[in-house]
Homo-oligomer: A and B are copies of this chain.
Amino acid sequence: MPTCLDGSLVTRSIPASQRAAASPNGFRSAVAPPLLAGVVCSDMAVRHYTLDVSLSTAVESASIVPGLLSIFHEQELTETIHDTNGQGYLATFVGKNGRFVILRVHSHGLVTIDLQCYEEDNAAQLDNLLNALEKKLKVLLNGNIARIKKLPALTRGAKVDRYWPTADGRLMEYDIDQVVYEEDSEYQNIKILHSQQYGNILVLDGDVNLAESDLAYTQAITGSGKENYAGKEVLILGGGDGGILAELVKQKPKMITMVEIDQKVIDGCKMHMRKTCGNILDNLRGDCYQILIQDCVPLLKKYVQEGRTFDYVINDLTAIPISTAPEEDSTWEFLRLILDLSIRVLHPKGKYFTQGNSVNLTEALRLYEEQLAKLSCPVDFRKEVVCVPSYLEQWVFYTAWKK
């Protein structure tokens, strides 16, 4: 999982195609998937409940703790009181079957309770315990409570992982119930996960790429329904899920060339993302399209040399890197190389479409726009903010064209 704790690159929908070419440049080196030795050996996940009470004014722990202890003792929990060096009250309680509770009365006016247990534990008993604690706290702190917050429990170490943070690093719990496909290709870790509401979701190296619910993504990256592709020459960079290809062939273009580096993405999507790709990935070649399994960079260079142009170039490869650290220069350079080549194969009246990034990553978006100003062919651009259902954050899409 790309994480935010260590300031590493976090990207969404990183280039199928770009990955290979990128590795030598050190791109995404910080987000290599963890050592995947195999499947999780047990499904006995830990459920982690939290109950937090924010106070209007700070209180002495002595006014709360004795009233709560009887509840813990009733549950046959063994208590340890810790020395906090003056940082409030902290006690831990160990119970049967792996139950573990932490009670902290923070000296600035916050009471936090953690309850960890195994998923197979008696949920009703644990609810009762939490409810009893909440009820007692309401009595003990009557008139002094600003907020009571009981979050949905975290499920930790489950066989099927439901937590896929947004590109801007926020915690999101998906309704994922099954891993339907998982492969490590030579370029990336590929997962297809089943969501109750989004259908199957393609996840590449931990980034949510596209779900079967996400026609909005395909529409945005093909011009939001305002373009006419009939009779046109189209180049798709990446796009291994087949969504763009499947939508555009309906419009009878002259020829669509799609360049996807990772056969295993196509293999997975062909089987499990059929609401997105239909049957378009069943054959690498059709009346008005061809799919090339290769790195797009040498191909773009060849097209430039040949003077070949396209009416539309759709870059479905690259999220804008989030890191803006100087050592990531090569990332931006690589990104600009792709951009530059793409614009060079664009017909003078053609359009270049690409996704950008989370609307919240304003600095990354600004840097991307800086790259657009540095291309060998000058371009103008516009951007649009789109809601892609499975992303759980607003996403920026760009359109660029030659000046």
Inter-subunit contact B34/A56 (CB<8 Å) = no
Inter-subunit contact B5/A153 (CB<8 Å) = yes
A1 contact set on B, CB distance < 8 A:
148-150
Inter-subunit contact B90/A85 (CB<8 Å) = no
**Residue with the highest number of chain B CB atoms closer than 10 Å, among A4, A49, A110:** A110
Residue from B87, B104, B157 in contact with A52 in the complex, judged by beta carbons closer than 8 Å: B157
Inter-subunit contact A94/B83 (CB<8 Å) = yes
Q: Is A60 an interface residue (CB 8 A)?
A: no
CB within 8 Å for A127 and B6 given contacts A39-B146, A57-B41, A146-B38: yes
**Interface size range on A against B:** 35 or more
A interface, by DSSP: helix, strand, loop or mixed?
A: loop
Inter-subunit contact B97/A87 (CB<8 Å) = yes
CB within 8 Å for A360 and B175 given contacts A80-B80, A96-B85, A145-B34: yes
CB within 8 Å for A37 and B5 given contacts A54-B157, A87-B97, A173-B171: no
Q: Is A225 an interface residue (CB 8 A)?
A: no
CB within 8 Å for A161 and B149 given contacts A83-B94, A138-B35, A360-B197: yes
Which chain A residues (11-37) contact chain B, with CB distance < 8 Å?
34-37
Inter-subunit contact B149/A49 (CB<8 Å) = no
Interface hit among A67-75, A267-275, A347-355, A388-396: A388-396
**Residue with the highest number of chain B CB atoms closer than 10 Å, among A106, A109, A162, A168:** A106
A45 contact set on B, CB distance < 8 A:
110
Chain A 141-164: CB-based contact to B (< 8 A → 1; otherwise 0): 011111111111110110001110
22 A-B residue pairings within 8 Å (CB atoms): A1-B148, A1-B150, A5-B153, A35-B145, A35-B148, A36-B147, A39-B56, A41-B56, A41-B58, A42-B109, A44-B110, A46-B104, A48-B50, A52-B156, A82-B94, A87-B98, A102-B102, A104-B116, A147-B161, A170-B173, A196-B359, A387-B389
Chain A residues within CB distance 8 Å of chain B: 1, 3-7, 34-42, 44-46, 48-50, 52, 54-58, 78, 80, 82-85, 87-88, 90, 92, 94, 96-98, 100, 102, 104, 106, 108-110, 112, 114, 116, 127, 130-131, 138, 142-154, 156-157, 161-163, 165, 168-175, 196-198, 213, 216, 359-360, 387, 389, 392-394
Q: Which 5 A-B pairs have the closest CB atoms?
A: A110-B157, A87-B98, A170-B173, A38-B56, A34-B148
